[in-house]
Amino acid sequence: MLHAIPQLQDYLIHSAARLGDKIALVCDKKRYTYAELDAQSNALAHTLVQQGVTRGDRVVVFADNSVETVIAFWAVLKANAVVSVVNPLTKTDKLRYLLEDCRATALIADGLLSRVLAPVVADNKHLKVLIMTGAGRAFCAGADINEFKESGKDPAFQRFLNKKLIEMARAYYEFEKPVIGAINGVSAGDGSQWVLAFDLNVASEKARFGWPATYLGIL
């Protein structure tokens, strides 16, 4: 619905109505129409509202340049919230400060940034919902299988690695607010482990799940 006083999100709504089949975005050699961006951002906006995001709330988008970041940007605006896109290179301490300082109500993040996110979300008091997705063709492809194969030769390193991976999954599992996985591609290894820790997962038709490490007998 268009507003009496034009707002930024009205541009996408108006463009989708007039030029629905026209290309609005090219990302990773894929093309997305105005209608596709409008529909997908609508779905995410409804999810944000259902999870308690209200007018004026701050929502942080923590992801690399991708179509998911664009969809999240428009979705936050459609939910009448304030969007803040944070550089994916931001470190844990600075991200914690940003979330606390703006009192972000929701965080939409790339699953590949879990190592930065896990320590932050565990003790945040303002977040109402955490939405995890993947920037690009995969949700999370997991670690390099060859590195896992080599690490098996070093039991001490393998124990350290397993401990860190479990800590990240536990942070999502024990988070007191809803954690939603938006699975948009391959989810393998660590990615599948995190998916099991989420409260709710919404998978696209392109979603695939697997545990490649089992083929090497190192799971």
- Indicate the residue type of 102: C
Tell me the whole-structure pTM to 2 decimals: 0.76
What range defines the domain where residue 192 resides? 56-216
Fill in the DSSP letter of residue 189: T
Listed in sequence order, the residues at least 6 apart from 219 whose beta carbon sits closer than 8 Å to its beta carbon are 211, 213
Instruction: Tell me the CA distances in angstroms from 181 to 108, 130, 134, 140, 199, one per residue in order.
Output: 10, 9, 9, 11, 8
In this predicted structure, what is the pLDDT of residue 195? 82
Q: Pairing between strand 179-183 and 58-62? A: unpaired
Confirm whether 122 is domain-assigned. yes
In this predicted structure, what is the pLDDT of residue 142? 64
Confirm whether 154 is domain-assigned. yes
Q: How many domains does the chain have?
A: 1
43 vs 49: CA distance, rounded Å: 10
Confirm whether 44 is domain-assigned. no
Confirm whether 171 is domain-assigned. yes
Confirm whether 18 is domain-assigned. no
In this predicted structure, what is the pLDDT of residue 88? 92
Q: List, run by run, the mean pLDDT of 10-residue segments along the chain (219 residues).
A: 74 93 89 93 92 94 90 95 95 93 93 80 84 75 62 66 73 82 78 81 80 64
CATH for 114? 3.90.226.10
In this predicted structure, what is the pLDDT of residue 136? 65
In this predicted structure, what is the pLDDT of residue 206? 77
CA dihedral over 191, 192, 196, 199, signed as positive or negative: positive
Confirm whether 39 is domain-assigned. no
Confirm whether 110 is domain-assigned. yes
Token digits for 88? 């994916």
- Indicate the residue type of 25: L
In this predicted structure, what is the pLDDT of residue 143? 62
Listed in sequence order, the residues at least 6 apart from 174 whose beta carbon sits closer than 8 Å to its beta carbon are 122
3 vs 13: CA distance, rounded Å: 10
In this predicted structure, what is the pLDDT of residue 106? 94
Listed in sequence order, the residues at least 6 apart from 217 whose beta carbon sits closer than 8 Å to its beta carbon are none
In this predicted structure, what is the pLDDT of residue 34? 95
Confirm whether 76 is domain-assigned. yes
In this predicted structure, what is the pLDDT of residue 36? 93
174 vs 170: CA distance, rounded Å: 6
